[in-house]
Copies of this chain bind each other. A is one copy, B any other.
Amino acid sequence: MAVEELTRTERESWLSALKTWSLRDDEKAIQRKIEFENFREAFAFMTKVAMIAEKQDHHPEWFNVYNRVEITLTTHDAGEGGGLSLRDTKMAKAIDALVQ
Interface status of A54 (Cβ within 8 A of chain B): yes
**Contact (Cβ within 8 A) B63 A62:** yes
List residues of chain B with CB within 8 A of the CB of A60.
Answer: 64-65
Instruction: Say which size band chain A's interface belongs to.
Output: 10 to 19
List residues of chain B with CB within 8 A of the CB of A66.
Answer: 59
**How many subunits of this chain does the assembly comprise?**
2
A50 to B64, CA, bound (A): 11
Determine the residue in chain B with the shortest Cβ distance to A50: B43
Out of B43, B47, B61, name the residue touching A65 (CB < 8 Å).
Answer: B61
Residues in A lying within 8 Å of B, measured CB to CB? 39-40, 43, 46-47, 50, 53-54, 59-66
A39-B54, A61-B65, A62-B64 are known contacts; what are 10 more A-B pairs with Cβ within 8 Å?
A: A39-B53, A39-B59, A40-B54, A43-B47, A46-B46, A47-B47, A60-B64, A61-B63, A62-B63, A63-B63
